[in-house]
Chains A and B, each alone.
Chain A
Amino acid sequence: MDHKLRTGAGLSGIVLGAGALAFGAFLSNRHRNRGQDNSPNYTKRQPEGDHAQVGRSVTIRKPRSELFTYWREFQNLPGFMENVEAIDESGADGVFTWKIKAPAGRHVDVRTEISSEKQGEHIAWRSVEGSDIATCGEVRFKDAPGERGTRVSLVMSYDPPAGALVRAVANIFLREPQVQARHDLKRLKMLMETGEIATSVRTRGETRAAKQETE
């Protein structure tokens, strides 16, 4: 991504700019000589870049192309991402609005565009003007050895939102994003490998879907 590539104005523009910088650092790390250590930046004790970054990988026993296609259909993501209520393509061309759950039945809107993608390999996105949170992320699909399927890696970079009001609402989204990423990817793995997401509830009234309806 081009560091100079910035859109937006005012408060959200500033936040977005910071987010874009972080993402730039993340991308460039893949090409930089990093000494005797091949580990991903997000596993470093002191990750490079000024902004929070989380990442997680999971191996899923499905072909790369199938997983890419599933993810690229963004409407599928709320099916395994706990805090994402809906993702709709709305407004400007190529802009997606992620409706993220927040306490007390409220939500925050994260507006993104695809910044880069390659069929079967990766999809990257970043927030645009009007987004409540400055964030960027990337999902990569790589063949796992032998019959193991595909390694799916999700990396997200974000800035704490500016403005007390938004921050209060968004805190829930930003709470332990590392855990959130791990849980979301595990749910995707379950869905792809078994066709369902494991739950130990005994009655339908205890399921997540039923609880949401009564909220």
Chain B
Amino acid sequence: MRALTWHGTGDVRVDTVSDPEIINSRDAIIKITSTAICGSDLHLYDGVIPGVKPGDVLGHEFMGEVVETGLGSNLKKGQRVVVPFTISCGGCFHCKQQQYSACDNSNPVEKQDMSATLYGQPMSALFGYSHLTGGYSGGQAEYVRVPFSDVGPIVIPDHLDDDQVLFLSDILPTGWMGAENADIQPDDTVAVWGCGPVGLFAIQSAIVMGASKVIAIDHYPNRLALAKQLGAQTIDFRETDVREALMEMSGGIGVDAVIDAVGMESHGFAIDNMIDVVKQKVGMGFDRASALKQAILAVRFGGKVSIPGVYGGMSDKWPLGAMMEKGLQIRGGQTHVQKYTEDLLAKIEDGTLDTTFLISHRLPLEQAAEGYKNFKEQQNEWTKVILKPGMEN
């Protein structure tokens, strides 16, 4: 099959690789119809995630048609499914509590040691996201092997097209959980750092959850316009003192909840690299790690801090005093996708949520490398890229 493979920093190519096969009984093979490039794929592209090997197939946002099933799968050939980026067994302690992204059993045993060293316990598995999270081949390909296919994939009714539902795989539930983790109350003013796809969905979710005011912070005019279109107020951090503005826009109280949808961006994942990069960046106007520091200072006493943005390593100069003295609630975590898919699919069907507004480009899979390059270098125009294996070149 054809698949987008990683070869080194800034070097991804569409290659011919072996077709996936059913290995375990609960597996299914999906023929991909749509797959997206994610902001976190750029971490792999930039070479800042450890444990990526040349030839690894990337991609964790995908959907398609079931073409083969193991004996333990409950899917049927011909069904259209969206697949969560988190691989979860459904039977362990964490899955039973709907903490799907902390599944005990999806990351192969021999791959658990690295993250166990970094975090104290091993990570769960994700599709197409380095051997740290299992080394599973991703979905930027013609076909993909989906383990535990009786737990993750959600069957899509025919009247919804791919563009409407594809983002159930990651960024929609990630934005939703980002807002949920901010514990939004009806009178709340909520500030969201970063108007990338996750930030935009967090903004939309916060509005649906009834926040009285949502303030979006970025510097790309096109992304700020999309946030405005959703009903948010906006701050361009290149033109405005963000903390000062937030104090004024929250009536001198400080915002009730903050959501960091920026994450480490192109910072290193490895511990020492992380520290070095953070140190280098101190003093810049909008350092990526400093988005979170800024958020912690901007939130009111007793406020809520939600971190859907991805961080991997360590950070110094952390505002620990503000965290303790202000009595903050801080929540993060990879998204428990399977917990949200059913409810969010219903919200897409009844029109509460629109997911198509941020799609800027649709490309054939063969042009995936070009998609990566532009998504990285032209963030204002390339807001979200969908790859279509079946599309004419």
Contact = CB atoms under 8 A, between A and B. Distances in A.
Contacts of B93: 59, 61, 148-149
A201 B92 contact: no
B91 A194 contact: yes
A203 B109 contact: no
B35 interface: no
Interface stretch (A46-54, A63-71, A152-160, A183-191): A183-191
A83 to B, nearest CB: 13
Given A186-B112, A189-B105, A200-B131, 4 more contacts: A61-B91, A193-B92, A195-B26, A202-B17
Interface of A: 59, 61, 147-149, 179, 183, 186-187, 189-190, 193-204, 207
Contact of A195 (B57, B72, B108, B134): B72
A202 B108 contact: no
B104 interface: yes
Interface in B271-328: none
A196 B24 contact: yes
Contact of B21 (A193, A197, A204): A204
Interface string B106-124: 1111111100000000000
A202 B26 contact: no
B108 A199 contact: yes
Contact of A200 (B17, B19, B105, B111): B111
A193 B105 contact: yes
B373 interface: no
B276 to A, nearest CB: 30
B148 interface: yes
B20 A179 contact: no
Contacts of A194: 26, 89-92, 105, 148
B125 interface: yes
Contacts of B135: 200
Interface residues of B, number: 36
B148 A202 contact: no
- The A interface is mostly helix, strand or loop, or mixed, namely loop
B96 interface: yes
Contacts of B96: 61, 147
B117 to A, nearest CB: 12
Interface string B49-91: 0000000010000000000000010000000000000000111
B18 interface: yes
Given A61-B92, A183-B110, A193-B104, A202 B25 contact: no
A201 B23 contact: yes
B145 A202 contact: yes
Nearest to B87: A198
B147 interface: yes
B136 interface: yes
Given A61-B91, A61-B96, A198 B19 contact: no
A148 B104 CA distance: 13
Contact of A202 (B18, B90, B111): B18
Contacts of A149: 93
A195 B25 contact: yes
A207 B110 CA distance: 13
B47 to A, nearest CB: 21
Contacts of B20: 202-203
Contacts of B92: 61, 189, 193-194
A202 B89 contact: no
Given A148-B93, A194-B26, A202 B137 contact: yes
Given A193-B92, A203-B18, A203-B21, A198 B145 contact: no
Contacts of B134: 198, 200
Nearest to A147: B96
A198 B110 CA distance: 10
Contacts of B57: 202
Contacts of B21: 202-204
A200 B137 contact: yes
